[in-house]
């Protein structure tokens, strides 16, 4: 009986020793430097959303970041049994040349995936934004030289004016459609935030009407410092029944969001379309662009002004007037300045350049 007990004890000791040796070996593999790249550059690794450990290990092996996918999975399994279970996140990562399995797991679980800055300027139409999202390669943030072109097609129908311009951080795997959804959600969130805080007594009664007027304000001035005054001017016109007479509404009626590429003609000014505010009363049929947050806020909380006229001041801004007589003086001043500038060979901007 004593010999049997001794034999069993020896087996336990040998098993413990083997387990210890196995753990020591596996821990060394886990913490040891990994494969290096020929030029020392980092490797790009994309972890797909919902990927299991097996899929992540295969991705790392295929990229050359680890030498053995089975060892990677075994090391993670052993650490999980010991209470250490890192959660690796989806995204695109740059894995340093020679990084250990331990360093890779830390990067995938606590690091930040590579992101790209999608920048959509204010005042573009849906057509222009879809061209921008579908064609441009976007630069990575954080100084990385990498770029990313959004894949996929645009949604079939996107209402004009429903997208909030701005800067959006995207990761590899985002699509044109996913960015469109984010822009629509961002605009809804903005309106939810500010709608109930709007000034009382505005002649725009619905969110859609506010967006339509904001799109006109956005196109009529590229100067954010003027937007509340321009919004107040157009709201005054709506209150008194004056036509808005915004040139940008003529252009939209002609091109439906595509750039015209030329000046509008007298015949086009007089032609009736559902958007031409020289020939129709009130607001155009739909927004004429996708207004930024500044223009939307300006319409809902405009400046207190009695102005109903505006004229370019020759420096990129506008002069505002409450009477036609004052407006005519502003017109004369602009043309006098323009004539003097032409004589001196100097360009006179009509308005601050539109985006």
Percent of the chain with pLDDT over 90: 66
Whether the per-residue pLDDT at 203 is higher than 90: the answer is: yes
Q: What pLDDT, on a 0 to 100 scale, did the predictor assign at position 75? A: 86
Whether the per-residue pLDDT at 303 is higher than 70: the answer is: yes
Specify which residues 312 forms β-bridges with: 318
Q: Which 3 state secondary structure label does DSSP give 323? A: coil
Percent of the chain with pLDDT over 70: 91
Per-residue model confidence as pLDDT tens digits over 66-100: 999 998 898 888 878 877 788 888 889 989 999 99
Whether the per-residue pLDDT at 55 is higher than 80: the answer is: yes
Residue the block writes with tokens 């590579």: 114
Q: Which 3 state secondary structure label does DSSP give 320? A: strand
What is the arithmetic mean of pLDDT over 260-278? 92
Higher-scoring residue by pLDDT: 133, 80? 133
- Residue 232 CA to residue 182 CA, distance in Å, equals 30
Q: What pLDDT, on a 0 to 100 scale, did the predictor assign at position 291? A: 98
Q: How many residues does the chain have?
A: 355
What is the arithmetic mean of pLDDT over 256-266? 89
Higher-scoring residue by pLDDT: 121, 25? 121
Residue the block writes with tokens 């753990």: 23
What is the arithmetic mean of pLDDT over 103-126? 92
> Could you give the dihedral angle defined by the CA atoms of residues 228, 230, 231 and 236, in that order, rounded to the nearest 10 degrees?
120
CA angle 66, 69, 74 (to 5 degrees): 115
Whether the per-residue pLDDT at 16 is higher than 80: the answer is: no
Whether the per-residue pLDDT at 17 is higher than 50: the answer is: no
Q: What pLDDT, on a 0 to 100 scale, did the predictor assign at position 13? A: 42
Higher-scoring residue by pLDDT: 318, 50? 318
| Range scoring the smallest mean pLDDT among 5-19, 94-108, 222-236, 257-271 | 5-19
* Positive or negative: CA dihedral 74, 79, 80, 85: negative
Whether the per-residue pLDDT at 25 is higher than 60: the answer is: yes
Whether the per-residue pLDDT at 128 is higher than 80: the answer is: yes
Residue 143: HSE in the Cβ half-sphere, 13 Å Cα cutoff: 0
Whether the per-residue pLDDT at 247 is higher than 60: the answer is: yes
Asked if the 28-110 domain carries CATH number 3.30.1490, the reply is yes
Q: What pLDDT, on a 0 to 100 scale, did the predictor assign at position 222? A: 79
Whether the per-residue pLDDT at 260 is higher than 90: the answer is: no
Higher-scoring residue by pLDDT: 235, 32? 235
End-to-end CA distance of the chain: 93
What is the arithmetic mean of pLDDT over 273-297? 97
The pLDDT-based confidence of 21 (bands split at 50, 70, 90) is low
What is the arithmetic mean of pLDDT over 293-317? 95
Nearest Cα neighbor of 130 from 149, 158, 110, 102 is 158
The pLDDT-based confidence of 36 (bands split at 50, 70, 90) is very high
Q: What pLDDT, on a 0 to 100 scale, did the predictor assign at position 19? A: 44
Per-residue model confidence as pLDDT tens digits over 317-354: 999 999 999 999 999 999 999 999 999 998 887 654 33
Decide: pTM greater than 0.85.
no
Q: What pLDDT, on a 0 to 100 scale, did the predictor assign at position 182? A: 98
Q: Domain map of the chain by residue range? A: 28-110, 115-192, 205-343
E strand intervals along 240-343 = 309-312, 318-321
Residue the block writes with tokens 């030329």: 262
Whether the per-residue pLDDT at 172 is higher than 60: the answer is: yes
Q: What is the mean pLDDT of the chain?
A: 89
């Amino acid at each position: 009986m004593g010999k049997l007990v001794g034999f069993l004890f020896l087996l336990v000791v040998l098993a413990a020793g083997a387990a210890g040796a196995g753990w020591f070996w596996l821990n060394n593999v886990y913490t040891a430097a990994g494969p290096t790249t020929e030029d020392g550059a980092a490797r790009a690794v994309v972890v797909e959303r919902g990927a299991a450990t097996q899929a992540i290990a295969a991705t790392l092996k295929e990229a050359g970041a680890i030498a053995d996918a089975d060892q990677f999975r075994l090391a993670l399994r052993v650490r999980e049994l010991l209470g250490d279970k890192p959660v690796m996140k989806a995204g695109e990562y740059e894995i340093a040349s020679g990084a250990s399995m331990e360093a890779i797991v830390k990067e995938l679980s606590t690091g930040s995936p590579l992101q790209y800055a999608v920048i959509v300027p204010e005042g573009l139409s849906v057509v222009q934004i879809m061209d921008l999202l579908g064609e441009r390669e976007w630069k990575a943030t954080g100084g990385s030289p990498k770029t990313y072109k959004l894949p996929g097609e645009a949604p079939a129908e996107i209402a004009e004016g429903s997208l909030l311009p701005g800067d959006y951080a995207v990761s590899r795997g985002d699509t044109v459609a996913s960015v469109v959804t984010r822009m629509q959600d961002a605009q809804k969130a903005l309106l939810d935030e500010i709608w109930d805080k709007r000034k009382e007594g505005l002649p725009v009664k619905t969110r859609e009407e506010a967006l339509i007027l904001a799109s006109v304000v956005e196109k009529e001035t590229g100067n954010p410092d003027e937007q509340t005054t321009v919004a107040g001017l157009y709201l005054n016109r709506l209150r008194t029944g004056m036509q808005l007479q915004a040139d940008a509404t003529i252009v939209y009626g002609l091109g439906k969001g595509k750039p015209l590429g030329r000046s509008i003609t007298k015949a086009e000014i007089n032609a009736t379309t559902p958007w031409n505010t020289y020939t129709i009363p009130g607001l155009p049929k739909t927004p004429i662009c996708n207004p930024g947050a500044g223009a939307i806020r300006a319409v809902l909380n405009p400046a207190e002004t009695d102005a109903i006229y505006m004229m370019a001041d020759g420096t990129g801004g506008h002069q505002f007037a409450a009477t036609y007589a004052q407006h005519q003086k502003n017109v004369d001043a602009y043309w006098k300045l323009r004539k003097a500038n032409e004589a001196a060979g100097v360009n006179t901007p009509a308005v601050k350049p539109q985006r």
